[in-house]
Chains A and B, each alone.
Chain A
Amino acid sequence: AAGVIQSPRHLIKEKRETATLKCYPIPRHDTVYWYQQGPGQDPQFLISFYEKMQSDKGSIPDRFSAQQFSDYHSELNMSSLELGDSALYFCASSGSGGADTQYFGPGTRLTVL
């Protein structure tokens, strides 16, 4: 079965640079979620989208923005990167407007030097 696809899998950036993470949800899933997992931490919810509209917002810094496109893929844009942004970024998708189970992608490991 098709799973959530995230790209790139690994990304290395310098401080103050920008990064774009991409997420391709499971086919026919209409809702996408972004989570950030710092070292030794639990995943923290950042933001979610349903039918291309922001549906919920968590602890996402103002330096980050995200959107969902007409093909349901989503992109997380991160600017003015800081050392503390180094983390695993997971995307999850679900159906039924988010009421169904969330299935996670493999994650993007972002390292900020």
Chain B
Amino acid sequence: DQQVKQNSPSLSVQEGRISILNCDYTNSMFDYFLWYKKYPAEGPTFLISISSIKDKNEDGRFTVFLNKSAKHLSLHIVPSQPGDSAVYFCAASSNSGYALNFGKGTSLLVTP
């Protein structure tokens, strides 16, 4: 049962524009959310996280928004750069065990 869902398998954005990656979750016990970036043949690289007590967290070009009532979060990348092209995984955990539940990923392609 997929508790974290990324419904867009792929996204193509022009360099300099905003990339918006979406993620939905079903488990109301989740209280910590993360975004990881992954290149082929490498491990996931941590990008940004947000606790359920916040609705926004910003780090440079990356901003994560959390809407708890809708069980939805999104990652905004502004401005997008060709080096951002990768697979982005949304992940969630609860403080009952900390194991991460991943979405299936969104492949982002930033074109020059």
Contact = CB atoms under 8 A, between A and B. Distances in A.
Interface of A: 4, 6, 31, 33, 35, 41-45, 48, 55-56, 58, 90, 92, 94, 98-99, 101-107, 109
Contact of B98 (A6, A43, A94, A107): A94
Contacts of A109: 41
Majority secondary structure, A binding face: strand
A4 to B, nearest CB: 7
Q: Bin the interface of chain B by size.
A: 20 to 34
A99 B98 contact: yes
A35 B42 CA distance: 14
B98 A104 contact: no
Given A106-B42, A107-B42, A42 B49 contact: no
A43 B104 contact: no
B43 interface: yes
Contacts of A104: 36, 43-46
26 contacts: A4-B43, A33-B99, A33-B100, A35-B100, A42-B4, A42-B103, A43-B44, A43-B102, A45-B99, A48-B98, A48-B99, A58-B99, A92-B100, A98-B97, A98-B98, A99-B98, A101-B46, A103-B46, A104-B36, A104-B43, A104-B44, A104-B45, A104-B46, A105-B43, A106-B43, A109-B41
The 6 closest A-B pairs by CB, nearest first: A104-B43, A98-B98, A42-B102, A45-B99, A56-B97, A104-B44
Majority secondary structure, B binding face: loop
Given A101-B49, A105-B43, A107-B42, A42 B89 contact: yes
Interface of B: 4, 34, 36, 41-46, 49, 89, 95, 97-105
A105 B89 CA distance: 15
Contacts of A98: 97-98
B57 to A, nearest CB: 12
Instruction: Tell me which of B4, B44, B98 has the highest count of chain A C-beta atoms within 10 A of its own C-beta.
Output: B98
A39 to B, nearest CB: 12
